[in-house]
Amino acid sequence: MSQFSDKPNLYASVRHSAKLRTRFAPSPTGYLHVGHIRAACEAFDFARAHDGVCLLRIEDIDHTRCTPELTTAIYEDLDWLGFDWPLPVRVQSKHYDEYTAVIEDLRERGLIYRCFKTRKDIAADSINGVYCGRAAPDEAERLSANESFAWRLSMAAAQDALGEAFHHMRYYESGEHPGWHEVNPRPHGDIVLARKDIGTSYHLAVTHDDAAQHISHVVRGTDLVSSTDIHVLLQTLMGWPVPDYHHHALILDEDGEKLSKRRASTAIRELREAGQRRSAVLAMAAHLP
């Protein structure tokens, strides 16, 4: 099954030498829809076209939204569509201790600080939507009062720690706008690396796991392009390799928004139960603009 490799020059700018490894990393916050299958086809076809391997990773750190039933549904839907992935699958919720160890490392190096503020406080204290802060002066009292806190990366401390290197971070992109991309994480401000409620964050878990799983090429939707600046910063701070990136177009709804609840966002399992054929669902994922 190859949905995309018939397109001419699709991979013209991909760089690879050794065995290529990519991943499809869905979050079980709902049932998979056609937009997810576009992403799965992109990642699995990319690996196949380069004689590489595509791993499946379950990104379920957000226990407020992810459920084991939805994880099982991901396996069932992908299996029905004919995808095949190496075992064992990495399930992020089994690795909180590793994310905590990264937080501990960053804390020892003075790169993160505890932030007790509410969303409202952050909005009020941001300048043009960018928040830069520091440890609370009354941190000790707040800790003894058991107040919950997030860990934020101090962009200023990161800049100090990296010196000149902070201004020379870059990554190679082979998808939309191929070539070397300069990285500037400053407009993101002091991002949250460990949320109050879950003790970690998407940015931390995804970069940790890409390094732990030796991902050489990250294939994912263009909605995550802006996060790549944060990811390269974390990789640089942690001494992890910076993979190549391949951001692909998303299926958009009638309003030009990322597919959500409308149009082809019908769950794959509903399409299956309604008698749709596997090939029709894959064709939809490949060809919807």
Binding site for ligand GLU (CB under 6 A): 25-27, 59, 206, 220, 224
Instruction: Tell me the angle at which helices 227-238 and 96-108 cross, rounded to the nearest 10 degrees.
Output: 70
| Alpha carbon 194 to chain centroid, angstroms | 15
The least distance separating ligand GLU from the CB of residue 226, rounded to whole angstroms, comes to: 12
Amino acid occupying residue 140? A
The least distance separating ligand GLU from the CB of residue 237, rounded to whole angstroms, comes to: 18
**Strands of 21-24's sheet in order across:** 21-24, 53-58, 90-91
> Among candidates 83, 38, 79, 82, which has minimal Cα distance to 286?
38
- Our CB check for ligand GLU shows the closer of 62 and 190 to be 62
The least distance separating ligand GLU from the CB of residue 160, rounded to whole angstroms, comes to: 28
Q: Which residue shows structure tokens 């991979």?
A: 11
- Phi first, then psi: give them for residue 152, nearest 5 degrees: -110, 145
The least distance separating ligand GLU from the CB of residue 120, rounded to whole angstroms, comes to: 27
Which two tokens mark 117? 């503020």
> Among candidates 144, 137, 100, 103, which has minimal Cα distance to 117?
137
The least distance separating ligand GLU from the CB of residue 223, rounded to whole angstroms, comes to: 7
The least distance separating ligand GLU from the CB of residue 16, rounded to whole angstroms, comes to: 18
> Among candidates 219, 276, 205, 283, which has minimal Cα distance to 247?
219
The least distance separating ligand GLU from the CB of residue 219, rounded to whole angstroms, comes to: 8
- Our CB check for ligand GLU shows the closer of 152 and 208 to be 208
- Our CB check for ligand GLU shows the closer of 114 and 269 to be 269
- Our CB check for ligand GLU shows the closer of 147 and 253 to be 253
- Our CB check for ligand GLU shows the closer of 165 and 212 to be 212
Q: With contact defined as beta carbons under 8 Å apart, do 149 and 116 qualify?
A: yes
- Our CB check for ligand GLU shows the closer of 10 and 55 to be 55
- Phi first, then psi: give them for residue 275, nearest 5 degrees: 95, 10
- Our CB check for ligand GLU shows the closer of 224 and 288 to be 224
C-alpha span between 170 and 176 (Å, rounded): 16
Q: How many CB atoms lie within 10 A of CB 246?
A: 23
